[in-house]
């Protein structure tokens, strides 16, 4: 009986083990340092960015190769934009406290629909079938992309403890990556169990010498489907950084 209990304990500990990573910078691209980045995605060679703050919120579409602004949509001054995802021929954009999800036609960013949200909107991604959004709690919510109807919710835990302040989201290789607001950390979440399987420490990514006075927290994760490149940034940061993950036991080397 004691042996069985010890074995069960070891198996449980193994199941909850969280891989720890640091990073190495491979490349960087300039971006406007007045972009309060809330959402980030690269699709078909284009970079979609959602920027927040009341009176400054926008949806922007850039050519990723050279950063040329191709299109933009300004939000009503009373709306505070949050996460985005591009799904099929539409772009979905959360708002923070207005309990709305804005839906645009991808071509021209013209308004297509508005979905009601039960609470706050923080981060947004999709799994190829459903929209997935966070609301600042430990829960992720899955929605029907055609109607906006709530399908189910998932509780996110790390070694048995709930994980809150899940912010900008990105679906990568069958997992949900999430910024943790007010930290320099990204977590990787199993979308079936809700367990955090990996943690990425991005402290020091934006050097103090390059940090504008208005720079805010780390926020923004985008995977480039063309080459698999992983890009991250922050609110009012002057750079997008391409990084690769390094096991936490090894020191990261920043190639700037």
Q: Compute the average pLDDT of residues 161-189.
A: 97
State residue 15's pLDDT score: 55
Asked if 239 and 218 touch (Cβ cutoff 8 Å), the reply is: no
Write out the residue range of the structural domain in which residue 84 sits.
Answer: 18-247
pLDDT in tens, 229-252: 999 999 999 999 999 999 987 554
Residue 6 included in any domain: no
Q: Compute the average pLDDT of residues 111-132.
A: 96
- Inform me whether the pLDDT recorded for 125 exceeds 80: yes
State residue 256's pLDDT score: 42
Residue 212 CB partners (closer than 8 Å, separation 6+): 33, 236, 237, 238
- Inform me whether the pLDDT recorded for 97 exceeds 70: yes
User: For the chain, how many structural domains are there in total?
Assistant: 1
The model's pTM: 0.90
State residue 255's pLDDT score: 45
Domain containing residue 68: CATH number: 2.120.10.30
- In residues, how long is the chain? 256
- Inform me whether the pLDDT recorded for 8 exceeds 90: no
Q: Compute the average pLDDT of residues 157-182.
A: 96
C-alpha span between 177 and 189 (Å, rounded): 6
Residue 3 included in any domain: no
Residue 2 included in any domain: no
């Amino acid at each position: 009986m004691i042996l069985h209990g010890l074995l069960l304990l070891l198996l449980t500990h193994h199941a909850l083990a969280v891989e720890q990573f640091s990073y190495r910078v491979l490349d960087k691209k300039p971006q406007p340092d007045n972009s309060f980045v809330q959402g980030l995605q690269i699709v078909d060679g284009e970079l979609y960015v959602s920027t927040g703050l009341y009176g400054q919120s926008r949806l922007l579409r850039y050519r990723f190769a050279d950063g040329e602004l191709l299109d933009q949509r300004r939000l009503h001054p009373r709306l505070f934009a949050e996460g985005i995802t591009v799904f099929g021929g539409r772009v979905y954009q959360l708002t923070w406290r207005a309990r709305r999800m804005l839906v645009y036609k991808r071509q021209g960013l013209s308004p297509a629909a508005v979905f009601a949200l039960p609470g706050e909107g923080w981060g947004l991604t999709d799994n190829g079938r459903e929209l997935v959004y966070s609301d600042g709690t430990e829960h992720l919510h899955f929605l029907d992309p055609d109607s906006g109807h709530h399908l189910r919710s998932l509780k996110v835990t790390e070694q048995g403890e709930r994980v809150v302040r899940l912010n900008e989201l990105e679906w990568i290789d069958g997992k949900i990556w999430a910024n943790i607001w007010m930290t320099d950390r990204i977590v990787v979440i199993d979308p079936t169990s809700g367990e955090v399987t990996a943690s990425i420490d991005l402290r020091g990514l934006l050097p103090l010498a390059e940090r504008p006075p208005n720079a805010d927290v780390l926020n923004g994760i985008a995977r480039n489907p063309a080459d698999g490149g992983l890009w991250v940034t922050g609110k009012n940061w002057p750079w997008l950084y391409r990084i690769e993950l390094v096991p936490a036991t090894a020191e990261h080397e920043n190639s700037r």
